[in-house]
A and B are shown apart, each in its own frame.
Chain A
């Protein structure tokens, strides 16, 4: 039975892994792949062609170059937000689940309160007041995105807490810190990773959405920014689909690759657990 499930999952893992590595390589080696520099200017509104694979935009920038370099910003925002918010979520979940009692009540109360704040509207208000920047976006998203991770980690920690090896560690006189980070943490890595993947995906969608509203970093061109420009500067109304479909499609494919990879960590059949499915997307 287990082998059968693995057989079916294999394809998801392969496709997801392939896409993820592909995007990662493109982002890392962007300056070797891109044919031109971001600042280079040519004739505006050129159609698809051999010299300019995706044509040029309204001020004559090569769109293929923008597309390649855009992967860096989008991936950076997604991955950094993932690292930060999952770290916060794991810490809070561990403490709440291990200590229980008042600490648990307090931490889960905070989690519930943050979970109720509509994220996208709050970020819109904040970015309108402050000058939009990538750093701000990562910071705010990390502060708001950890809640689902904390809940999942907490419930698993509560299960592990009462297991024999934790009890014996406690009897041997190890400190709470030691037990948390050397006994419990290694046992929940398998649920931290899918949480991380889903958080990255959700952060990428949100970054793109905010950029589309014109609240992205104006000095950096992410995929969301490209779509924003296509929509704002006549690319959409002129039917220049090559301006916004490649970046939009790439966002979808990257998010898909994250979700496919997260299937690998599901214990049973392919499908999403309640928390994973409900938690993160575009709120």
Chain B
């Protein structure tokens, strides 16, 4: 299967743009580039600063710096964090898995729940249960993630004492980890489900007016089997697009949820870096998240291409 060259060009350009932006930001922003590259926690005498400037190559022409930047990227060298006293790349890798444990199950569960509930809601719009689910998911959809997290933490953790308020211990056993992860995963799932619900509902509403549905009904198929055997497949295409977009959204959304629940992932890393103005970590995380979003977009295009023959024909 050949992939359209035009689209690949866009992906490459997006990646190039983000990396270039990331290169110029610390050099163009107000303040000393040495501090902008090393973070506010870097404190040294004048001579040491000059020496570091030399080492970072800031005295050299900007094009040489730019070439070096690319070279470092290929070696996965994202700089050094003076705040955490660690290399940014190893810092991100060590945190990434905890975010992944939070995001992956939520994304999968949320897509399944949202797509199922949404297709039912679009199919039988008038039933009471579907009206309720519509308003429930609409409410979640319209709320900032951190606010819902605060509410849940207050009621389930604080008031009812069912879940721990804080902390996420990497040494704990599985039950402990599950206990810490339950509320965050629940909230993440609700958010993911609410978006999938809205998209799926709208999609089924459009799809159910099409002729093949009436034909299937005229042939005497049961309503439920029309929905799940025929309509669902056709209506679920936008959900696949959403899966990619959600990938980026969930990493940003996970950020807030992690902060509220003090989980040890990327979000908390970003939060700590904001508080200490640790620029190398912030830039590194931005780069990694962008990279993952672009890859997810690419994969989605691929899957779309593979599932929907119309896309292939239109090329």
Per-residue B-contact encoding for A200-244, CB less than 8 Å = 1, 0 else: 010001001100111100000000100100010000100101001
CB-contact partner of A256 in B138, B154, B199, B255, under 8 A: B138
Chain B interface: which size bin? Answer: 35 or more
Does A259 lie at the interface of the complex (its beta carbon under 8 Å from any beta carbon of B)? yes
Contacts A241-B154, A281-B249, A282-B249 hold; do A209 and B145 have CB atoms under 8 A apart? yes
Contact A116 B14 (CB under 8 A): yes
Contacts A205-B144, A209-B144 hold; do A236 and B150 have CB atoms under 8 A apart? yes
Chain A residues, CB < 8 A from B138:
256, 259
Tell me the chain B residues, 271-289 only, with Cβ under 8 Å from chain A. Answer: 271, 273-275, 277, 279, 282-283, 285-286, 289
Query: In the complex the two chains form, what is the Cα distance from A255 to B139 in whole Å?
Result: 9
Contacts A121-B285, A271-B201, A272-B198 hold; do A231 and B150 have CB atoms under 8 A apart? yes
Does B143 lie at the interface of the complex (its beta carbon under 8 Å from any beta carbon of A)? yes
Query: In the complex the two chains form, what is the Cα distance from A129 to B125 in whole Å?
Result: 49
Does B294 lie at the interface of the complex (its beta carbon under 8 Å from any beta carbon of A)? yes
Per-residue B-contact encoding for A118-129, CB less than 8 Å = 1, 0 else: 111110111011
Contact B252 A248 (CB under 8 A): no
Contact A269 B297 (CB under 8 A): no
Q: How many of A's residues come within 8 Å of B, CB to CB?
A: 50
Query: In the complex the two chains form, what is the Cα distance from A245 to B143 in whole Å?
Result: 12
Chain B residues, CB < 8 A from A209:
144-146, 256
Contacts A116-B14, A252-B143, A272-B198 hold; do A283 and B245 have CB atoms under 8 A apart? yes
Chain B residues, CB < 8 A from A272:
198-199, 201-202
Does A40 lie at the interface of the complex (its beta carbon under 8 Å from any beta carbon of B)? no
Does A273 lie at the interface of the complex (its beta carbon under 8 Å from any beta carbon of B)? yes
**Those 6 A-B pairs whose CB atoms lie nearest each other, nearest first:** A248-B147, A120-B252, A255-B142, A129-B29, A277-B198, A116-B14
**Can you report 11 residue pairs joining A to B where beta carbons are below 8 Å apart?**
A109-B9, A109-B13, A112-B10, A121-B252, A128-B277, A128-B279, A213-B256, A231-B150, A281-B141, A282-B252, A283-B249
